[in-house]
Amino acid sequence: MNNPGTELDSMALLSIVMVDLLLLPASTFGAGEEEAKFALALLGAQDIVYTENGNQYKVQYQNEEGSQYQVQGVYDVAADALKCTVLVDEKEAVVSEHHKTSFGYVGQIYVVNDDGSANVYQMALRGKDGMIGISEATAAPASLTGGEAADFPKANKEWYAIEGDRFTGVTADGRELSFIYVPSGDEL
């Protein structure tokens, strides 16, 4: 096994994957009502309503358990920036932003958990290199500007980065990680 002792550290990233599922309807923005309804119905969404007005998009639907979802988005063409808000049963659950920068892209996702606590995930991507920072939050962070530094996620208590084959990070409990990433045979 490569990098012994780090097996469970990747679990910190599992929650961001779950958030991506809530944002999946945003992938239909700009596709039109018929395509959006078709794609979301495949995922079990019901009573789908899709609207777009210029650079503003909205998808409303009900899941199989009866919860009401609304994904709103505004795309700024000039800045190559998208800001989305997800409401679940009329309560803000997620605010997600992505913004082009001089080096690539930055993003941040503010998530309100079921228990009322909140987390922020901040990301910076430059080619194949990237970084993610994770923090607890009491409110949504300021909007991205596109002027963020490539290492802005390091301002978080917990962060992970990959640059080439070098992996570095600081875990939630403050443990520093640094190793050369060696892909398994399946990833080659």
Note the pLDDT tens digit of each residue in 97-131: 999 999 999 999 999 998 999 999 999 999 999 99
**pTM listed for this prediction:** 0.89
Q: Alpha-carbon distance 43 to 117, whole Å?
A: 28
The alpha carbons of the chain give a radius of gyration, in whole angstroms, of 18
Q: Which is nearest to 109 in space by CA: 118, 124, 121?
A: 121
pLDDT of residue 49: 96
Domain ranges of the chain: 9-187
One-letter amino acid for residue 145 of the chain: T
Exposure pattern of 157-166 as b/e (b: 16+ CB <10 Å)?
A: ebbbbeeeee
Q: Is the pLDDT of residue 188 over 60?
A: no
